[in-house]
Amino acid sequence: MYRRVLTSMAIRNNCSFFSNVHHVTCPSRYFCLSDIRLLYFLSCHKRQESLLSSSSGFNNYRGLLNWCVVMLVLSNARLFLENLLKYGVLVDPIQVISLFVNDPYRWPAACLVIASNVFIMVALYTERQLSKGSFSELVGFLLHCINMAIMLTFPAAVVLLVPSVTPVGGTFVLGVYTILFLKLYSYKDVNSWCRELSSIKAKKLARSLSCPSTQQLNRGEPKVCYPGNLTIRDMYYFVFAPTLCYELNFPRSPSIRMSFLLRRLFEMWMIPVIQSSMKPLEVPNHLLWLMFFYWFFHSSMNFTAELLRFGDRQFYNDWWNSETVTYFWQNWNIPVHKWCLRHFYKPLLRRGVSKMISQSAVFFLSAFFHEYLVSVPLRMFRLWAFTGMMVQLPLAWIVGRFLRGNYGNAAVWISIIIGQPFTVLMYVHDYYVLNHGQEPN
């Protein structure tokens, strides 16, 4: 039986070899059985593409990515070791904590971050009162609005008026408060939806949102129903979770993978070391942006998700393959895109607003926060970030209308490589002129 199968395979392969290459009749009948085994080795080629050709369908470049990481580590390890041997460990955590405890007012950014807990507790208290009926919906809505309005204005006023707040510290503080603003807005909306569903006694709809079925949860994870979610533990899990959209029952991973956690921690430590060894104005700005993207959206957010066993790890999509500007903005920052879609864009559509106006409103909101996070820490208002975001609207229309495929992807990359560095350089120029009375060298 084995000989028959081998003979059949050899004759079939040899027939194909001679008929395709030499264009002659099948010569297999001229071979005796003892030579059949050799026929299998005569044909060793088949029609196929090189792996790096786009038509090959090959897409596994993990080894090349690892090579890039190894080269980056090796090229910067020497500088790191030289600095360590020459200067030693420059940051002593115990000394930093003691300085903060002895004189906390010298650390206004840290104080502002700690003060953000007040706004978290106000939001939780308001929702608890609403769940018990102590507050009407109108009173709860007004309290949430006041709380979130102060969240945006209070830290901005401190950053503008307190000279000891540095631009880096101000950017960090306003970033924290902006994230917290978006989280608490989502928290308000979801709890409001749960109350609406409970009030109309729609049991089927209520189970789908405020009390998910067992199939939607990990086995062994207890499900939470409204108002059982209004706890300090649930609130702070959401605050630290790498998402902007609130749910009563988040998907959870079964356990913490220590090897995965340590890899992400190493990346979080290594990438800032590499960035610090580069002079910002001598390195293409978009390369620094790409490094920041990997550090924040992959390393940091995966580290946090693994630590909290947060199951939804889709923090970004393949934005590098974007053929339209719209696809880029929908996929490079998934948490923000989900929030805009869930809490801003779709509510506008449900109110009868057209798609074009709703999309413009989303870009306007994004432009506001971009300018808020740049102009306030720098204490100057030039609207470069705001203008850059609003320009994306006509650019998205032009690219989507006239460019397709690789041309569209090239247009998106050109906008990243030229547009963002231009905006950054404008702020650097204006900051130096405003604070030093001269243009940067």
pLDDT tens, residue by residue, 338-374: 999 999 999 999 999 999 999 999 999 999 999 999 9
377 Cβ neighbours under 8 A, 6+ residues apart: 159, 165, 167, 168, 169, 170, 171, 174
Q: What is the pLDDT of residues 298-315, one digit of tens each?
A: 889 999 999 999 989 999
SS3 state of residue 252: strand
Predicted pLDDT at 283? 52
Distance CA 399, CA 411 (A): 7
Q: Looking at 23, 45, 370, 436, which residue is catalytic?
A: 370
DSSP letters along 301-366, please? HHHHHHHHTB--------GGG-SSHHHHHHHS-HHHHHHHIIIIIHHHHHTT--HHHHHHHHHHHH
| Length of the chain, in residues | 441
Rounded to 5 degrees, φ, ψ at 310 are: -80, 125
Give the integer Cα–Cα distance in Å for 92 and 335. Answer: 34
DSSP, collapsed to helix, strand or coil, labels residue 430 as helix
- Is there a catalytic annotation at residue 370? yes
pLDDT in tens, the chain (441 residues): 444 444 444 444 444 443 444 444 444 444 454 555 555 566 677 777 777 676 777 777 777 767 776 766 666 666 667 766 776 665 555 665 555 555 556 778 888 999 999 999 999 999 999 999 899 999 999 999 999 999 999 999 999 998 888 888 899 999 999 999 999 999 999 999 998 888 775 455 444 454 544 444 555 567 888 888 999 999 999 999 999 999 999 999 888 888 888 888 877 776 665 655 555 544 566 777 888 888 899 889 999 999 999 989 999 988 988 889 989 999 989 999 999 999 999 999 999 999 999 999 999 999 999 999 999 999 888 888 898 888 888 998 898 888 888 888 898 888 888 887 788 888 888 888 887 766 555
